[in-house]
Structure 1
Amino acid sequence: MDRMVLVGLAGVVAVAVFVLVSEQSDPTNDLASADGQGGALVEIAMPAELSANAQIGQTAYEAKCAACHGVNAVGQDGVAPPLVHIIYEPSHHGDEAFQRAVAMGVRGHHWPFGNMPAVEGLTRGDVAMIVAYIRELQQANGIN
């Protein structure tokens, strides 16, 4: 009987975690919350179309990055900075900087958001595709 209760409890916990994670990582939920967090930090123009690599990167970005950095990398007030910003131009933060940030995390240094933790579950290839997406967004907004 105790084992059945534990299995049932584990199922309830799993469903609750899934619901919480789904709500937090919903990339369409970029409106500011009641505590003033979550609103987009920049407005951007979208490229007319994305390359095949950037399309793959967009999918990976939405799965792993949008929960903090917002839909289309516009940042979120009180959460994380926009990646479509002059600070992240290729000459200041090269592609390897993104690779290292994902793999090891990064100490906060440009923005008052605190440290970024490492992101689990992404390969270097995944990050390369995400960077392709971010770079195309940047280019569409005059950041080269």
Structure 2
Amino acid sequence: MKSTIAIAAILVAGGVGYVLWPSAPQTAASDTAISRENGGLANVLLPETLSPNAQIGQLGYEAKCAACHGANAAGQDGVAPPLVHIIYEPSHHGDEAFQRAAELGVRGHHWPFGDMPPVEGVTRGDVTMIIAYIRELQRANGIN
């Protein structure tokens, strides 16, 4: 009986904690955000600054990825998912997953957007810089 009460108390406390926990941790990011109202699927807080590699990656991202994945990797409704999302955290989709997706394309498996085709005209070096940009956006949004 005591163990049943203890388990129930833990479950209730966990549920309350989940409900009260902030949906997106606030970090040292600026207040600038990409709103879902602008067609993005995620609100993306932008870092105060980007490293030199991420700045290069931002240019590559804007040239090769933003048309589908949206401004600042916020995704686009009906087109492609946000890359600033827990699904793409480094422990679940490591850097090599991004490399392979750009080179070979990827079969849709987490989202209902269909398959992603290979990205024409990008090198492994280009994708490395794009990954630096995405990872810095993710960290600014509490995704490590």
Question: Shorter-normalised TM-score: what interval?
Answer: 0.7 to 0.9
Q: Which residue of 2 aligns with 1:80?
A: 80
Q: Which residue of 2 aligns with 1:117?
A: 117
Q: Which residue of 1 aligns with 2:29?
A: none
Written as runs of structure 1 = structure 2, the 5 A alignment for 1:43-122 is 43-122=43-122
Amino acid at match of 1:95: D
Structure 1: runs of 5+ lacking an equivalent: 1-29, 33-37
Structure 2: runs of 5+ lacking an equivalent: 1-34
Question: How many Å apart are 1:94 and its aligned residue?
Answer: 0.1
Tell me the matched-pair count. 110
SS at match of 1:57: helix
Question: How many Å apart are 1:128 and its aligned residue?
Answer: 0.1
The runs of at least 4 consecutive aligned structure 1 residues that moved more than 6 Å come to none
Amino acid at match of 2:96: E
What do the CA deviations read for 1:106-127 (whole angstroms, capped 9, x no partner)? 0000000000000010000000
Q: Which residue of 1 aligns with 2:134?
A: 134
Identity of aligned residues (%): 76
What do the CA deviations read for 1:94-144 (whole angstroms, capped 9, x no partner)? 000000000000000000000000001000000000000000000000000
TM-score for both structures, normalised by structure 1: 0.74
Distance 1:44 1:135 in 2: 12
TM-score for both structures, normalised by structure 2: 0.74
Amino acid at match of 2:67: A
Q: Which residue of 2 aligns with 1:16?
A: none
Distance 1:31 1:134 in 2: 18
